Amino acid sequence: MPRKLITLILMRIAVGLLLLLVVSAVIFLGVEALPGDTAEAILGRSATPDALANLRAKLGLDQPAWERYFTWLTGVLSGDLGKSLTNGADIAAAIAPRLHNSLFLAASAAVIAVPLALGLGVIAARYAGRWPDKIISAVTLSTISLPEFVAAYFVIYALTQLFPVFQPVSMVFAGMSLPDKLRAIALPVIVLVIVVLAHMMRMTRAAILSVMQSAYIETAELKGLPPVSIILRHALPNAISPIVSVISINLAYLVVGVVVVEVVFGYNAMGQFLVDHVAKRDLPVVQASALIFAVVYIGLNIFADVVSIVANPRLRHPK
């Protein structure tokens, strides 16, 4: 691998880690700025000033913010996310099953959305300006205009009332078989596919059409190659960089941005977990959850950037 390519990849990873450090500070300061008193939220409004002061000292809330931040960051780097203020439970142990549920939901939606978006994008590019392209574009643009909660309630009404196929609440538990889990998450998966499909399809179409203007595509056409073969063997591989970027962003959304969907369906995962502890003002849990979301989002963006760098033929084959 060329040295310049390796240098660019290492620089992008370093920038991503630096960004993650900055985001951790923003998360800590943002959680600190939440209104209310944690000690009062735990003990109630009837607590005496001495009891509140003692609890703040026990929880370390009487220390300066910068000192608490570095203590928290040191613990995170060592794998210790801290203890919940409301029940004293280990945060990492409490988050693990819910993070697993969020990743399972995101992966299930991605398995459907990514191939479907690529296939529809290829079809739309193949028949650009004709009726298949117009129908696909119209349907996907209609779905992208729907907010998540509107799409969720529409799907719930359609598939639990008009056609009672699924239950409106999606819950998964340890010990459930894979078919039972897939059936339980069918409705939120449908909503997530509806929400993210249009972005990936439109970028696939635009990237392929952009590459189709290249000279080597004209050469392939003059050789008499079938249009589908030209798209799949010549245009799509050279359009992969922007497509991967959009897919990575949408995959990050499937993990990070599904809070509304999880709350609507009562899905026991990270989104519902975060909302519950924001209401309780359980600051360590909120900080840990937000940091995990940030790690996933930044990590997938770093992956997209690395793929874009590696896919650049000028870097892979320098003169």
pLDDT tens profile 204-231: 888 888 888 878 788 877 788 888 888 8
For 14-29, what is each residue's pLDDT tens digit?
Answer: 988 899 889 888 888 8
Q: How far is CA 278 from CA 192, 199, 270, 274, 275, in A?
A: 24, 31, 12, 6, 5
The CATH code of the domain that includes 10 is 1.10.3720.10
How far is the C-alpha of 42 from the C-alpha of 47, rounded, in Å? 9
Q: Which residue has the tokens 């220390």?
A: 63
Asked whether residue 21 is domain-assigned, the answer is yes
Residues in the chain: 319
Which residues does residue 180 pair with via DSSP β-bridges, in sequence order?
A: none
> How far, in Å, CA of 219 to CA of 216, rounded?
5
Mean pLDDT of 289-317: 78
Of 140, 145, 83, the residue nearest 113 (C-alpha):
140
87 inside domain: no
In a domain, 49, yes or no: no
Residue 316 has a pLDDT of 57
Q: Residue 34 pLDDT more than 80? A: no
> 199 near 209, Cβ under 8 Å?
no
| Model confidence at 2: pLDDT above 60 | yes
Domain of 99 in residue numbering reads as: 3-35+92-316
Is 152 within a domain?
yes
For residue 199, is it within any domain?
Answer: yes
Q: Indicate whether 66 belongs to any domain.
A: no
Domain total in the chain? 1
DSSP string, 215-228: HHHHHHHHTT--HH
pLDDT surpasses 60 at 232? yes
Q: Which tens digits make up the pLDDT trace of 134-164?
A: 899 888 888 877 788 888 888 888 888 888 8
In this predicted structure, what is the pLDDT of residue 313?
Answer: 60
Handedness of CA 259, 260, 263, 267 (dihedral sign): negative
Q: Helix axis angle, 131-144 relative to 186-211, nearest 10°?
A: 130
In-domain check, residue 42: no
Inside any domain, residue 248: yes
Predicted local distance difference test score (pLDDT) of residue 290: 86
Return the bridge partners of 90, or none: 83
